Amino acid sequence: MRPFTYERASSPAAAAEAVRRTPDARFIAGGTNLLDLMKLEIETPVHLVDVNGLKLDSVEPTPEGGLRIGALVRNTDLAADPRVRRDYGVLSRALLAGASGQLRNKATTAGNLLQRTRCPYFYDTNQPCNKRRPGSGCAAIGGFSRQLAVIGGSDTCIATHPSDMAVAMRVLDATVETVKPDGATRIIPIVDFHRLPDDTPHIETALEHGELITAVTLPKPAGGAQIYRKVRDRASYAFALVSVAAIVQPDGSGRVALGGVAPKPWRAEDAEAEMPRGAKAVAARLLADAKPTHDNAFKLPLVERTLGAVLAEAKG
């Protein structure tokens, strides 16, 4: 790990300004992803700004009937919150599927959204990776791609987004609240928060340099049966090959988002009109533009089967 300087921020705006004035600075909270990346010299920040003392760790009701989740709320606390378990069950289930108990105790809401890919070529600094070193190429394309994207990728990157929580947030239509270095605030719909790779896979979110997440807001509960199902190579502490977050209403209508298949949580609202017709119709619309490789083509039928299991569970 390379040497770095460190400071504790006194306010959200001060934290944002501290990162803005140093191009290679990073925020640190739980550090469950960042510290690993620093040890491997994938991330090499020269300055860390500790945001743990900013009191962004509460879950509060909103006037509209939803919940406002502070950026520093730990995954364990969020999954166990009675209001989340009662009204946003898909989120609680996704969090509990996400990692070991020790990691959930440290990992934060904002950090979970900002996780970087677990593509093996991203983690191997001897391999070219446009996400790690822009313009160097993508070793995953033409390489071993079993875990990687079947949709939403580009000619420069086929990495997947690793977060379980983000998939649930996408199906719940969450919004992300931020503060900029000048103190200005912004609200970003979750659909616009994560970016597809296109020609700039190293730019992963809509955040500007120095912009700090302060909260994630959930709208009024959608009701219905809320289910998160994750298919992985082993029963725990593994990232999704395919995951499905769904909200299914009694009449068969609803919402669905996928994890493990794309560079961002994958949802296509037009596919949700097909939900009363069943999993095959929904999956066909969700994955209409899929471009699987030889290694990961199995994900296409796996999405359909996993979604079918979710819909069957929703019907009881």
Return the closest-CA partner of residue 90 out of 161, 163, 162, 172: 172
The number of beta carbons lying within 10 Å of the beta carbon of residue 61 is: 10
What's residue 237's pLDDT?
A: 82
Which residues have C-beta within 8 Å of that of residue 100, sequence separation ≥ 6? 236, 237
What's residue 235's pLDDT?
A: 85
Q: Distance (Å, rounded) from C-alpha 195 to C-alpha 154?
A: 12
Q: What is the mean pLDDT of each run of 10 residues along the chain (316 residues)?
A: 94 97 95 96 97 97 98 98 98 94 95 97 97 97 97 98 98 98 97 98 97 98 97 91 98 97 97 95 97 98 98 93
What's residue 111's pLDDT?
A: 97
- Parallel, antiparallel, or unpaired: how do β-strands 25-28 and 47-50 relate? parallel
What's residue 236's pLDDT?
A: 81
Structure pTM? 0.96
What's residue 99's pLDDT?
A: 85
Q: Domains of the chain, with CATH numbers?
A: 5-53 (3.30.43.10), 225-314 (3.30.390.50)
Which residues have C-beta within 8 Å of that of residue 195, sequence separation ≥ 6? 203, 204, 205, 206, 263, 264
